[in-house]
Amino acid sequence: MTRASDMFSREFRLPDLGEGLTEAEIVRWLVQVGDVVAVDQPVVEVETAKAMVEVPCPYGGVVTARYGDEGTELPVGSPLLTVAVGAPSSTAPDAGAAVPGAATLGAAVSGTRTSGGEDEGSGNVLVGYGTQAPAARRRRVRPPAPGAAAGHRSPGTPSPVDRTAAAPPAGPATPVRRPVREEPPPVDGDGSGRRADGPVPVISPLVRRLARENGLDLRQLAGSGPDGLITRADVEHALRTGASAQSAPSAVRPPQSPTGAPAPATTAPARASGTRVPLKGVRGAVADKLSRSRREIPDATCWVDADATELTRARRWMNEAGGPKISLLALLARICTSALARFPELNSTVDADAREVVRLDEVHLGFAAQTERGLVVPVVKGAHTRDTESLSAEFARLTEAARTGTLTPADLTGGTFTLNNYGVFGVDGSTPIINHPEAAMLGVGRIVPKPWVHEGELAVRQVVQLSLTFDHRVCDGGTAGGFLRYVADCVEQPAVLLRTL
């Protein structure tokens, strides 16, 4: 039987999920305290600004603690859970009670032990996180002997400021020692954003920006995270309860008038009433990206109406011939990749620091998809190398993943050009915002029957409006117009292009 003395704790922290993400929201716990987990078993489902992902634990053992309730946002690097795993063989056994779940613990941790007994973990299971190198052994902490003089510590006893050392998980007969939580230091009141003996405990730059934009003094908040860490939930709660309008601490001197008398107090502006919806997750990421695009990109839009009758007829013939079904979006994507080969300026990005336009060698085509979680832009990698059937299959795969919320961060990043089919919403035109850091986006409206002059006669044809929004730094109107005219010509007369598919 595995006993408490034969085990030690491993703390699993929220790993870096890639692409600069700094925090994630706990959607659903997949394990409970006391459960036995295997190496790389998913333990929690989290939602980032890009996708919903299951996070695997690189340790096998018994779950002894979970950190954060469902709906809580945690910054990268904060603890997720603690797992009791088998102790190294060199550790002398102590007397202790059996740990719950220890009967099956051996099977769970067998994949994490080497022949020498060292704990090895599972390797790099997520971006920026891994346990490939053996972890340093944690020294056991024994309580001081009874009657020891105050202020003296026996060997192995942690100092009063050591908050990380903890005894191994214990059974019913062994009390569990909790980490010592220090009280937050007093505010210095000099406006520097620091407490008396250190900085305000905030990791996420998004939390700082949220507080700054709403005039909230972070020094007045007591964080609910580990060691008093201030999280986005703390800031949002403070904003909801009007914490930003509270008076400053007594340590802060009131403003003085030129005569030396206290200046009249200013009244905080009244907050608008109504339902407040936090900008977080996908919605928050979209807001940040679109705001940045508007700030940094001098965009312009041109548009043209095109007769799509022949394109829709060609698609119908292709699908009636048998084989995989071809989507209209795939045909438009194939036209886009052909146009970008002729006008490479629009498949580029701007390096503002170097004052250079970087023309990209590959086309990774993003397409806008509306989901229950908000607007997402999955990316078809290597679109310029795919034929129409391959494009259609990849669009279908990514659309289904977007609908079910299983897109990965890799599926949502790396785009070089975006195709936006807003016609599915029943609208004819739009002036879309460029998906930063790309340089252009092609918009496609609905295809509807309209009066059209065809071969010199008035006829009813299937007409679509095409719009191109482009970064004016990468090209001028002549290049943008040439690109859009080429796309319209292919829509109106697809036969020449389709022979190459």
Average pLDDT rounded to a whole number, residues 82-101: 54
| Arithmetic mean of pLDDT, 177-187 | 43
pLDDT in the model for residue 30: 93
In SS3 terms, 186-232 reads as CECCCCCCEECCEECCCCCHHHHHHHHHCCCCHHHCCCCCHHHCCCH
CA–CA distance, 433 with 108 (Å, rounded to integer): 50
Nearest in space to 164 (alpha carbons), one of 148, 182, 150: 182
- Sign of torsion over alpha carbons 425, 429, 434, 439: positive
Of the candidates 27, 348, 5, 365, the residue with the CA atom closest to the CA atom of residue 167:
5
Rg (CA), the chain: 30
Collapsing DSSP to helix, strand or coil, 272 comes out as: coil
- pLDDT for res 103: 45
- Residue 472 falls in the annotated catalytic set: yes
Type of residue at 325: K
* CA 404 from centroid of its chain's CA atoms: 17
496: three-class secondary structure by DSSP:
helix
Whether the predicted pLDDT of 473 surpasses 90: yes
On whether the CB atoms of residues 59 and 43 are closer than 8 A, the answer is no
Contact in structure between 471 and 350 (CB atoms under 8 Å): yes
Q: What is the arithmetic mean of pLDDT over 387-395?
A: 94
At residue 383, does pLDDT exceed 50?
Answer: yes
Burial class (CB in 10 A: 0-12, 13-18, 19+), 378: buried
Distance of CA 160 to the CA centre of its chain: 37
Q: Which residue has the higher pLDDT, 73 or 362?
A: 362
Cβ 71 vs Cβ 31: under 8 Å: no
Check: CB of residue 362 under 8 Å from CB of residue 416. yes
The one-letter code for the residue type at 58 is: P
pLDDT, mean over the chain: 75
* Residue with tokens 């080969």, as numbered in its chain: 341
Distance CA 172, CA 170 (A): 7
> Does the pLDDT at position 8 exceed 50?
yes
What is the Cα–Cα distance from 119 to 37, expressed in whole angstroms? 15
d(CA 284, CA 302): 29
Helix (H) or strand (E) holding 464: strand 457-471
Instruction: Phi first, then psi: give them for residue 286, nearest 5 degrees.
Output: -65, -45
The DSSP letter of residue 483 is: H
| Cβ–Cβ under 8 Å, residues 419 and 444 | yes
Mean pLDDT along residues 53-69:
89
In order, the DSSP letters of 397-414 are HHHHHHHHT---GGGGS-
Question: What length does the chain have?
Answer: 501
| pLDDT band at residue 63 under the 50/70/90 scheme | very high
Exposure pattern of 96-118 as b/e (b: 16+ CB <10 Å)? Answer: beebbbbeebeebbeebbeeeee
Please give the residue that has the higher pLDDT: either 373 or 10.
10
* Residue 195 pLDDT > 50: no
Q: Kindly report which listed range (23-37, 216-230, 298-312) carries the lowest average pLDDT score.
A: 216-230
Token reading at 208: 């700082």
pLDDT at 270: 65
Q: Which residue has the tokens 């007994």?
A: 117
pLDDT at position 199 over 90: no
Which are the contacts of 151, defined by CB distance < 8 A and separation ≥ 6? none
The pLDDT of residue 20: 58
Cβ 223 vs Cβ 216: under 8 Å: no
385: left (phi over 0), alpha (psi -120 to 50) or beta: alpha
Averaged pLDDT for residues 328-332: 94
pLDDT tens digits, 101-146: 444 454 444 444 443 444 445 544 443 344 444 444 444 444 454 4
CA 99 to chain centre: 37
Cα–Cα dist 110/347, whole Å: 50
What single letter denotes the amino acid at residue 102?
Answer: A
pLDDT tens digit sequence for 226-278:
777 888 888 888 887 774 344 344 444 445 544 555 555 555 566 777 888 88
More confident residue, 205 or 35: 35
Instruction: Pull the structure tokens for residue 233.
Output: 């939930």
In whole angstroms, give the CA distance from residue 61 to residue 108.
6
| Beta-carbon contacts of residue 378 (< 8 Å; ≥ 6 apart) | 366, 367, 369, 398, 399, 401, 402, 407, 411, 412
Band (pLDDT 50/70/90 cuts) for residue 408 is confident
pTM greater than the 0.75 cutoff: no
Higher pLDDT, residue 341 or 404: 341
The dihedral built from the CA positions of residue 85, 89, 94 and 98, taken in this order, carries a sign that is positive
Query: Between residues 446 and 180, which one has the greater pLDDT?
Result: 446
Work out the percent of the chain whose per-residue pLDDT is above 90.
38
Give 143: exposed, middle or buried? Use CB within 10 Å, 0-12, 13-18, 19+. Answer: exposed
